[in-house]
Structure 1
Amino acid sequence: MQPITKNEMKVFPPYKEDIVTKDNWFTSQKNLQRYCHSGDLSPSRIIWRGNQNPTQLSYTKDQLNLEKIKDKNAESVLSYLERTNTDAFLVMYQGKVMYENYFNGYKSYQPHAMNSATKSFVGLIVNLLADEGLLDINKKSSFYIPELDGTGLGDGTVQQLLDMQVPVKYLEADTPLGIGRGTPIFMATGSIPKPDNYDGPENLYDFMTSSKKDKIPGTAFYYENGQTEALGWIVKRLTGKNLAELIQEIIWSKLGTEENALMQLDLIGTDIASGGMRATLRDLARFGEMMLNDGYYNGQQIIPGHIIREIKKGGNRKYLAESNHSHLSGFSYHNQWWVSHDQFGGYSARGKFDQQIYIAPKADTVILKLSSYQSPISEKANAFQAIIDYLVKQ
């Protein structure tokens, strides 16, 4: 038996200041870290891994030395990981794991909060249903969800929702945390407490139907959560299945994953399409490899290749450059994926607190970063480019 040192022991019951609640999870780096590591604050639904054996990841004998690899600003990759409060990091090159490590007490088997990286899974589900003829991406969302007729979200087409081109506005509300545009979604999902005078949406459906038109759909990039929630509502209405079940059937159970993933639920049991998924680093590496190989993994074509090739084309770069995401210079957004238009053909799933699944097809590389980084802006990672530059020169 491995000895347990005093520093590893926890106090039971925990001290009051060590208890993370919906009132304080965003108030300190320590509490945010615990929130990202654990899904205990909210109910969740299992995304079952299936009953097959896990696919085996292949590892190189010598792992990358990230202290020696430096970006264009002379910052080492390891320093970057520490500065951005990384919980887990993995690099795959030519199908082999070149680096895998865990920080801040995060365990390899723990599902980590993915936040908005969940959106990219939703985009795949929507495009697959369209590919099967179950929906027309050029029809307005209100065609499939009549309850959205007359709302801001109902005025956009499915494709415009996929590309975040349905500018909407919501009720303004003061909150103790003050996080995120369209803050009422955090109260509608039960993620943060409601102020005493709150009279807004009590669940995700209320949140979506409260949306108001801000600009003409298709004329601007406006990244926000309601558009993905509308997509989630559409696929559930068409299939009669919840989102966790769809991700399980279409993607997760086919990858040969090691662990179940999880989907956070709102107060009435609705999957949070815009940011509710949790998964482990290694399983997301399997997903990344599937995307890198145009949908083929574990001996099968999981997602049709043309769906992924369409993602890689990207969207309207001018719209994004004119938005409040202009710090992502050169990027576009298409089908719920961020496309960087870099020399590696890169595209990524990205989430709040710096979750990143970056796929670089032209460099045969997948890089994953799970974090609990409080910075309001997820950086354009020069470190990722430094890693790829190093790999392709070897």
Structure 2
Amino acid sequence: MGKYILRTLGSLVLVVVILALIYQTELRQLYNTVHLFDTDRIVTNFSRLKDMAPTKVLFSNDSIRSLNPIPRQLPRSFMYKGEEITIAKWLEDSNTTALVVIQGENLLHEQYLQGTGEFDQRISWSMAKSFLSALFGVAVAEGKVPDLNAAVTDYVPSLVGSGYDGISIKNVLQMSSGVYFNEDYGDFNSDINRFGRIMALGGSFDDFATSLTQDPLHEPGKFMHYVSIDTHVLGMVLRAATGKTIMEYMQEKLWSKLGAESDAYFITDSTGEPMVLGGLNMISRDYARMGMLYRDFGQYNGKQIIEKQWVIDSTTPDAPHLMPGPRANASRTLGYGYQWWLPINPDQEFMAVGIYGQFIFIDRKKDLVIVKNSADRHFMENNFQSTDLSISAFRAISESL
């Protein structure tokens, strides 16, 4: 009897060892995903996603947009709701890893914190959505997507029967698809975390999109509900419309023309499809170069990389439910365009925003771009008060110039 038990245990151990060897990549990725936001790891993790998930590279070229270092002192403090807060405390409290300030072509301030460096390829999270929007604008300008009122299912038949069936491209661009989606990063079973586990364990982002349903409480085109998978659906439309992969199209139409100084990379699913809703990684100065391109209405080096009208449309809310300011049943007060955000009372200001404190802030009136990368685990607390704090700090920096 004892020998039988030993043999059985030995067989079970052997099976476990074999399974661990077969699925060692998935197990490693699952472990990394579970611990991605741990307090003692989050800073390092946000600069080394390429060691934790499958990736694909966007290659820079020799045509780098040069930045002229002209150091300027930041203001010591700024006001928020009647309270004076020092820049140093704001940076520390929001677990900032990088702050880059550019005016015109001049690099006025560059600061790297938490042991990170200038060549760390930092995760964009949802700032990637603004890059995808830019790429989508190229396809519109080329006539690949002639009508934003067309349904996404006209391009992607696999979405027929899903929550995206018959939903217009414009509604998806404006996060007004009416699709139900739980974006709570703190809820293990939320849709966004289910999506993250696809990255860890394998699976298709496309298949995940087809599994979503309409939200009976939110009519398409009437209510802004932030649904990250909307951006992936835009990527599906883009692939169908152009006949090219996202990587091919972005390399050709945007990344090779941006003046980037370093390679970038996307996290992908197990089929090789990039995580366009938040998986882009690059150095902070290249995030700034994207901001400069949009600050300059899509023009760089004498060429119109993104059509001017697309830049304007992308940063101009055109319906009541998208306007900045308090809105019925909305927890956030930021306005929204085509995957770009607008603060309350914008004066030629707009921004790309990513979870955990990623920002590309553009103040066109001051010819200014500010990039802030962070690992802020408290980013969502008090109805995203950290975003309001950062906007106040950005405006103080702008005014000081």
Interval of TM-score (by shorter of Structure 1 and Structure 2)? 0.7 to 0.9
Give how far 1:33 is off.
Answer: 1.5
Q: 2:278 aligns with which of 275, 279, 282?
A: 275
Q: Could you tell me which amino acid in structure 2 is paired with residue 134 of structure 1? A: K
The equivalent residue for 2:158 is 147
Unaligned runs of 5+ in 1: 1-18, 194-200
2:112 maps to 102
Q: Between Structure 1 and Structure 2, which shows a larger proportion of helix residues? A: 2
Alignment partner of 2:387: what SS? coil
* Alpha-carbon distance in structure 2 between the residues aligned to 1:155 and 1:93: 43
Give the drift of 1:96: 1.5
Do structure 1's residue 137 and structure 2's residue 138 form an aligned pair?
A: no
Q: SS at the partner of 1:286?
A: helix
CA distance in 2, matches of 1:179, 1:114: 23
Encode CA deviations 1:327-379: one digit per residue, 9 max, x unaligned. Answer: 3x2x2111111122534321111111111101111222111001111124252
Q: Give TM-score, length-normalised by structure 2.
A: 0.83
Q: Any idea what the Cα deviations from partners look like across 1:262-318, whole Å, max 9, x if unmatched?
A: 011012211111111001111111111111111112332211111111123224453
Q: Which residue of 2 aligns with 1:124?
A: 134
1:229 maps to 2:232: yes
In the TM superposition, 1:101-250 aligns within 5 A as 101-135=111-145, 136-169=147-180, 178=188, 181-190=191-200, 202-214=203-215, 215-250=218-253
Shift of 1:82: 1.0
2:72–2:109 CA contact under 8 A, matched in 1: yes
- Which whole-Å deviations, capped at 9, do the CAs of 1:40-89 have from their partners, x for residues lacking one? 11011001112x242210121x42235x1323321012211111011100
Decide whether aligned partners of structure 1 residues 105 and 169 sit closer, same or farther in structure 2, where only a CA change above 3 A counts: same
* Shift of residue 325, structure 1, vs aligned partner: 5.7
1:222·1:323 contact (CA, 8 Å) conserved in 2?
A: no
Structure 1 pair 238–391 and aligned structure 2 pair: CA distance change class (3 A): closer
Using the aligned pairs only, state the percent identity: 24
Matches of 2:65 and 2:161 in 1, distance apart? 47
What amino acid does structure 1 have at the position aligned with 2:108? M
Query: Which ranges of structure 2 fall in alignment gaps of 5 or more residues?
Result: 1-29
Q: Which residue of 1 aligns with 2:95?
A: 85
Q: Return the offset for 1:154.
A: 2.6
Determine if contact 2:357/2:387 at 8 Å carries over to the other structure: no
Aligned residues: 360
Distance in 2 (alpha carbons) for counterparts of 1:102 and 1:332: 30
Question: Residue in 1 aligned with 2:77?
Answer: 69
Deviates more, 1:173-182 or 1:90-99: 173-182
Aligned partners of 1:167 and 1:213 also within 8 Å:
yes
Structure 2 counterpart SS, 1:154: coil
TM-score calculated relative to the size of structure 1? 0.84
> Once the two structures are superposed, what CA deviation does each residue of 1:180-209 show, in whole Å capped at 9, x if it has no partner?
55432112232xx6xxxxxxx932111111
Tell me which moved more, 270-279 or 374-383. 374-383
Q: Describe the SS at the equivalent of 2:285.
A: helix
Aligned partner of residue 236 in structure 2, secondary structure: helix
Structure 1 equivalent of residue 259 of structure 2: 256
Deviation at 1:211, TM superposition (A): 1.1
CA, structure 1 residues 143+343, in 2 after alignment: closer, same or farther (shift >3 Å)?
A: closer
Are residues 59 and 173 of structure 1, via their aligned partners in 2, closer, same or farther at CA, if it must alter by over 3 Å? closer
The CA RMSD over aligned residues, in Å, is 2.6
Q: 2-side partners of 1:112 and 1:373: how far apart?
A: 13
Q: What amino acid maps onto 2:78 in structure 1?
A: K
Q: 2:287 matched to 1:289?
A: no
Q: 1:22 aligns with which of 30, 33, 39?
A: 33
Deviation at 1:249, TM superposition (A): 1.4
Tell me if the contact between 1:69 and 1:390 (Cα under 8 Å) persists in the aligned partners.
Answer: no
Q: Contact conserved, 2:269 with 2:275, CA < 8 A, in 1? A: yes
Counterpart of 1:37 in 2: which secondary structure? coil
Larger of the two Rg values belongs to structure:
2
**1:174 & 1:167 partners in 2: Cα distance?**
17
Using the TM superposition, name which of 33-42 and 125-134 deviates more. 125-134
From the superposition, tell whether residues 112 and 145 of structure 1 become closer, same or farther in structure 2 (CA, over 3 Å): same
1:41 counterpart residue number: 52
Counterpart secondary structure, 2:77: coil
